[in-house]
Structure 1
Amino acid sequence: MRLSTDVWESVSAFTNTSGGVLLLGLDERNGFSPAKHFDIDKVRDQFIEGIGDGGVSGARLGNPPRYVMNRADVDGKQILVIIIKENEIGEKPCYIKAKGIESGSYKRIDDKDVRLSTMEIYEYRNALVPSKADNTIVPESDINDLDPQLVSALIERKRQSKALLGASTREEQLERLNVVDKQGAVKLAGLLVVGKYPQQFEPKLLIDVAAHPGTEKSEPGMPRFLDRVLCDGSLPGAIDDALHAVVKNLRTVSHVRGVGRVDECEIPEAAIREAIANAVIHREYHPYFTGQSVSVDIFRDRVVVTNPGGLWGGKTLENIADGSSRCRNVILMQLMEEAPVSNSIGSTVEGQGSGIAMMVRLMRDRGLREPEFKASADQFTVVLHRPDVADIVARPVREDDTVVKQQRVEPTKRMEEFLALLDDGSEKSARELAEEANVSIETARRALNDLLRAGKIQATAPLNSRNRKYRVV
Structure 2
Amino acid sequence: MDDGDYTARMTELIELMRLIGNDTQQCEVKECGRRISSTITDTLSAFSNGNGGYIILGLSEKRGFTPVEGFNARSMQEALSQACEKMTPVVRPVIVTCPFEGTNLVFAVVDEMLPRDKPCFLTAAGPYAGSYIRTGDGDRRMTAYEVDRLMEEQRQPDYDLGIVPGATIEDLNPALVYGLLERERERHPRVFEGRGDVDMLRDLRVLIGEDEARARHPDAHGGAKDADTADGGNADSGNAGGRTDGGDDAAPVLRPTLAGLMALGRYPQKFYPRLAVTLAVFPGTSREEVFVEGAQLVTAETITGPIPVMIDNTVESLTDWTAGAPHTEPDYPCDVLREVVANALMHRDYSPDAQGTPVQVCVFTDRIEVTNPGGLFGAVTSRTLARPANASTRNPFLFALLQSTPYPDGGAVTDSDGTGYRSIEAALRREGREPARIDNAIDRFTIVIPRRRTGPDDAGERNFAQRIMTFLERHARAGVRDLMTELGMSPIEVATGLRALKNKGLVESETVQVQPQRYYHLTDAALHDAVPRPPAERSGMSHGPSVS
Task: Specify the TM-score bucket, using the shorter chain as the normaliser.
Answer: 0.7 to 0.9
Rounded to whole Å, the distance in 2 between the matches of 1:274 and 1:68 is: 41
Q: Is the 8 A contact 2:325 2:489 kept in 1?
A: no
Q: CA RMSD in A?
A: 2.8
Q: Is the 8 A contact 1:193 1:236 kept in 2?
A: yes
The reply to whether residue 173 of structure 1 matches residue 206 of structure 2 is no
- 1:379 corresponds to which residue? 444
SS at match of 1:164: coil
Q: Is the 8 A contact 1:456 1:472 kept in 2?
A: no
User: Counterpart amino acid of 1:177?
Assistant: L
Q: CA deviation at 1:79?
A: 2.6
Q: CA deviation at 1:268?
A: 0.5
Q: Is the 8 A contact 2:59 2:66 kept in 1?
A: yes
User: Counterpart amino acid of 2:323?
Assistant: R
CA 1:78 to 1:133, structure 2 compared with 1: closer, same or farther past 3 Å? same
User: Counterpart amino acid of 2:434?
Assistant: R
Equivalences for 1:61-76 in 2 at 5 Å? 61-74=87-100, 76=102
The reply to whether residue 231 of structure 1 matches residue 303 of structure 2 is yes
Equivalences for 1:404-423 in 2 at 5 Å? 405-407=488-490, 408=494, 409-410=497-498, 412-415=501-504
CA 1:416 to 1:50, structure 2 compared with 1: closer, same or farther past 3 Å? closer
- 1:258 corresponds to which residue? none
SS at match of 1:44: helix
Equivalences for 1:19-58 in 2 at 5 Å? 19-52=52-85
CA 1:80 to 1:159, structure 2 compared with 1: closer, same or farther past 3 Å? closer
Rounded to whole Å, the distance in 2 between the matches of 1:391 and 1:232 is: 40
- 1:150 corresponds to which residue? 176
Equivalences for 1:3-14 in 2 at 5 Å? 3-14=36-47
- 1:274 corresponds to which residue? 339
Q: Is the 8 A contact 1:70 1:82 kept in 2?
A: yes
The reply to whether residue 358 of structure 1 matches residue 426 of structure 2 is no
SS at match of 1:99: coil
Rounded to whole Å, the distance in 1 between the matches of 2:53 and 2:331 is: 41
Q: CA deviation at 1:415?
A: 4.2
User: Counterpart amino acid of 1:164?
Assistant: F
Q: Is the 8 A contact 1:310 1:376 kept in 2?
A: yes
CA 1:86 to 1:114, structure 2 compared with 1: closer, same or farther past 3 Å? same
Q: Is the 8 A contact 1:218 1:224 kept in 2?
A: no
The one of 122, 127, 134 equivalent to 1:108 is 134
The reply to whether residue 206 of structure 1 matches residue 309 of structure 2 is no
Give the TM-score, by structure 2 length: 0.68
The reply to whether residue 296 of structure 1 matches residue 296 of structure 2 is no
User: Counterpart amino acid of 1:320?
Assistant: L
Q: Is the 8 A contact 1:206 1:238 kept in 2?
A: yes
Rounded to whole Å, the distance in 2 between the matches of 1:62 and 1:128 is: 14
Rounded to whole Å, the distance in 2 between the matches of 1:136 and 1:238 is: 21
The one of 432, 435, 441 equivalent to 1:367 is 432
Q: CA deviation at 1:137?
A: 0.6
The reply to whether residue 82 of structure 1 matches residue 104 of structure 2 is no
SS at match of 1:361: helix
CA 1:29 to 1:203, structure 2 compared with 1: closer, same or farther past 3 Å? same
Q: Is the 8 A contact 1:333 1:351 kept in 2?
A: no
Rounded to whole Å, the distance in 2 between the matches of 1:224 and 1:118 is: 35
The one of 272, 284, 287 equivalent to 1:217 is 287
CA 1:191 to 1:416, structure 2 compared with 1: closer, same or farther past 3 Å? same
Deviations, residues 41-70 of structure 1 (Å, cap 9, x unaligned): 332222222212xxxxxxx11123332222
The one of 26, 30, 51 equivalent to 1:18 is 51
- 1:338 corresponds to which residue? 404
The reply to whether residue 284 of structure 1 matches residue 356 of structure 2 is no
Q: Which has the larger radius of gyration?
A: 2
Give the TM-score, by structure 1 length: 0.78
SS at match of 1:98: coil
SS at match of 2:115: coil
- 2:395 corresponds to which residue? 329
Rounded to whole Å, the distance in 1 between the matches of 2:184 and 2:417 is: 18
- 2:263 corresponds to which residue? 193
User: Counterpart amino acid of 2:41?
Assistant: W
User: Counterpart amino acid of 2:175?
Assistant: Q
Query: Tell me, which stretches of 5 or more residues in structure 1 are unaligned?
Result: 53-59, 255-261, 396-403, 419-454, 459-470
Q: Is the 8 A contact 1:229 1:245 kept in 2?
A: no
CA 1:178 to 1:456, structure 2 compared with 1: closer, same or farther past 3 Å? farther
Deviations, residues 313-340 of structure 1 (Å, cap 9, x unaligned): 2112222122654322111111111111
Equivalences for 1:236-255 in 2 at 5 Å? 236-252=308-324
Rounded to whole Å, the distance in 1 between the matches of 2:181 and 2:458 is: 49
Q: Is the 8 A contact 2:44 2:84 kept in 1?
A: no
Q: CA deviation at 1:413?
A: 4.1
Q: CA deviation at 1:14?
A: 1.9
User: Counterpart amino acid of 2:501?
Assistant: T
Q: Is the 8 A contact 1:128 1:312 kept in 2?
A: no
User: Counterpart amino acid of 1:343?
Assistant: D
Count of residue pairs brought into register by the alignment: 402
Rounded to whole Å, the distance in 2 between the matches of 1:71 and 1:329 is: 46
Q: CA deviation at 1:139?
A: 1.2
CA 1:286 to 1:165, structure 2 compared with 1: closer, same or farther past 3 Å? same
- 2:213 corresponds to which residue? none
User: Counterpart amino acid of 1:165?
Assistant: E
Rounded to whole Å, the distance in 2 between the matches of 1:116 and 1:16 is: 10
Deviations, residues 372-406 of structure 1 (Å, cap 9, x unaligned): 122112221111100244545259xxxxxxxx953
Q: Is the 8 A contact 2:501 2:547 kept in 1?
A: no
Rounded to whole Å, the distance in 1 between the matches of 2:60 and 2:94 is: 22
Q: Is the 8 A contact 1:274 1:355 kept in 2?
A: yes
Q: Is the 8 A contact 2:439 2:446 kept in 1?
A: yes
The reply to whether residue 94 of structure 1 matches residue 120 of structure 2 is yes
Query: Tell me, which stretches of 5 or more residues in structure 2 are unaligned?
Result: 1-33, 210-251, 461-486, 508-538
